[in-house]
Structure 1
């Protein structure tokens, strides 16, 4: 399996069908799904039929996938996934950054480490112009990760929630980082 990116502690690679059990576990955790579905777990069938194909999708304008399975380099434990994918179908100038990690991986700095490494690769190697990220206004942990990764708050907005969840009345926030404002990370890269 080809590795897309390595950090000192993480390995990001394309998803395969073998990742399904890990994804089912991730999407069934109510705390992981709190700001996505209000804590309602996804069924294994939904993960198999909708989530896994989305995570395995390629983006022609990008010439790559947009989601990567993350695992710890030491021990190989599944951590979750990271996203760096084009916002528009026909251009890779602006991409979206995202992540979803197992609860056991929270508070270990993995979200910041993986996000910074993706930003560095995107701006330095892939020629990105801008990276955006969105989360609920009340998701303070995710907002802090985005800020530590170097993104700045662009706006608060209100979308239509088919099923409003706690905190949705406060809206969502969009963060952004341009290549002109990017500073390479000080996180140590993986040893070669």
Structure 2
């Protein structure tokens, strides 16, 4: 039986594609110019270390088409992230419905940045803005985050944005091969948490 962490999170939310801003970042619709740097990220073993296999260009392009279709259907999803000062595409951040094969339900937050953008606080900045949008604009009761037990960088971001670990919801990903990608940890933050 699946655990229901976020009871209202399965609502279909609408409102179209919004653009979000922070001091240094723009979270926006995907553009054709994003496809090549996105594919390069998905072919980078360090970026994919906690995600599994590298993606081909075709798989990478298909993921963007899927992101856009999901955004159009729900009104939220994965935004492309660019640096405001330069217009450089550096990755994605956003919200997604928890996969059906996981042992719980809800909406999760995530991010993925190009290696050159690591260590500059961009993931934390983007994630904070996504949380604000999820709570204030979409009315989510809580937001989850899932990553491998060995992905300490992402877990550090989760802590910096106020999320706390929910060890009773940690799980082994049955789709992952035996090894470091199988054990996963779950974090959460409620709408009423300080931000």
Provide the TM-score with structure 1 as the length reference: 0.81
What does residue 67 of structure 1 align with? 78
Aligned residues of 1:132 and 1:177 also touching (Cα < 8 A): yes
What does residue 10 of structure 1 align with? 25
What does residue 94 of structure 2 align with? 83
1:121 is aligned to 2:133: yes
What does residue 160 of structure 2 align with? 148
Give the Cα–Cα distance (whole angstroms) in 2 for the partners of residues 26 and 88 of structure 1. Answer: 22
CA change 1:144–1:21 in 2 (3 A) is same
**Gaps spanning 5+ residues in structure 1: where?**
185-192
Aligned length: 173
Give the Cα–Cα distance (whole angstroms) in 2 for the partners of residues 24 and 96 of structure 1. Answer: 23
Bigger proportion of residues as strand:
1
Give the Cα–Cα distance (whole angstroms) in 1 for the partners of residues 130 and 94 of structure 2. Answer: 9
Give the Cα–Cα distance (whole angstroms) in 2 for the partners of residues 72 and 78 of structure 1. Answer: 7
SS, match of residue 29 in structure 1: coil
Aligned residues of 2:71 and 2:78 also touching (Cα < 8 A): no
Superposition map of 1:1-192 within 5 A: 4-37=19-52, 40-49=53-62, 51-59=63-71, 62=74, 64-87=75-98, 94-155=106-167, 156-165=170-179, 167-168=180-181, 171-180=183-192, 182-184=193-195
Residue 3 of structure 1: CA displacement?
Answer: 5.5
Aligned residues of 1:94 and 1:128 also touching (Cα < 8 A): no
Give the Cα–Cα distance (whole angstroms) in 2 for the partners of residues 47 and 168 of structure 1. Answer: 20
Residue 162 of structure 1: CA displacement?
Answer: 4.2
Give the Cα–Cα distance (whole angstroms) in 1 for the partners of residues 34 and 181 of structure 2. Answer: 31
Give the Cα–Cα distance (whole angstroms) in 2 for the partners of residues 59 and 11 of structure 1. Answer: 17
Q: Which has the higher contact order (CA 8 A, sep 6+)?
A: 2
Over residues 60-102 of structure 1, what are the superposed CA-to-partner deviations in whole Å (9 max), with x where a residue is unaligned? 774x13010000001111110012123489xxx9421001100
Aligned residues of 1:81 and 1:100 also touching (Cα < 8 A): yes
For the aligned residue pairs, the C-alpha RMSD in angstroms reads 2.2
Aligned residues of 2:39 and 2:60 also touching (Cα < 8 A): yes
Provide the TM-score with structure 2 as the length reference: 0.80
Give the Cα–Cα distance (whole angstroms) in 2 for the partners of residues 29 and 132 of structure 1. Answer: 26
Give the Cα–Cα distance (whole angstroms) in 2 for the partners of residues 68 and 127 of structure 1. Answer: 18
CA change 1:175–1:104 in 2 (3 A) is same
